[in-house]
Amino acid sequence: MTVKELMDKGWFKVINEGDDTERDIEKVFCCDLLSIAMGKAPAGCAWVTVMGNINTLAVATLADAAVVILAENAALDENATAKAEQQGVCVLATDMPIFDAALMIHEALNA
């Protein structure tokens, strides 16, 4: 499933589309602690988190996540939004809890 296919499901609000929506999503990853995400998030993952600050975007870029999904209505602050645009990171949002959002993506990946 590509990032675009995930967006097209209409489950999530699109905060920033990013530059590479044709990219394949490899796996779902969940964690809010940045250094754990940095160490464990696989390249090409869909990263589900409630941390919407600029450091989330830095980690997503450097660890090479395919898409960030902000769960629990977590907002992306102003600086983070600017960073997402500048770095071309795809950011989606939902009011669902982390597990529910992640499970939904996981099931779509394995469908």
Partner 1 sequence: MEDAIVLKYQVIDGEFQRAGEVSSDVKHKLKQLGVPADIVRKVAIAMYEGEVNMVIHANGGEITVEITPEQIRMILADVGPGIPDVEKAMQAGYSTASDATRNLGFGAGMGLPNMKKNTDSMDIETKLGEGTTITMVVRL
Ligand X SMILES: Nc1ncnc2c1ncn2[C@@H]1O[C@H](COP(=O)(O)OP(=O)(O)OP(=O)(O)O)[C@@H](O)[C@H]1O
Q: Which residues contact 109 (CB under 8 A, 6 or more apart)?
A: 1, 25, 27, 28
Nearer to partner 1 (CB atom), residue 14 or residue 62 = 62
DSSP string, 24-87: BP-EEEE-S-HHHHHHHPPTTEEEEES--SHHHHHHHHHTT-SEEEE-TTPPPPHHHHHHHHHH
Give the residue, chosen from 14, 33, 73, 75, that forms a contact with partner 1 under the rule CB under 8 A.
33
Nearer to ligand X (CB atom), residue 35 or residue 110 = 35
What is the sign, positive or negative, of the torsion defined by CA atoms of 16, 56, 41, 101?
A: negative
Q: Write out the binding residues for ligand X, residues 28-47 only, by CB under 6 A.
A: 34-35
Based on the shown chain and the rule CB under 8 A, indicate whether residue 45 belongs to the binding site for partner 1. no
Partner interacting with residue 96 (select from partner 1, ligand X, none; CB below 5-8 Å by kind): none
Based on the shown chain and the rule CB under 8 A, indicate whether residue 81 belongs to the binding site for partner 1. no
> Under the rule (CB under 8 A), what is the footprint of partner 1?
32-36, 38-39, 43, 51, 53-59, 61-64, 79, 87
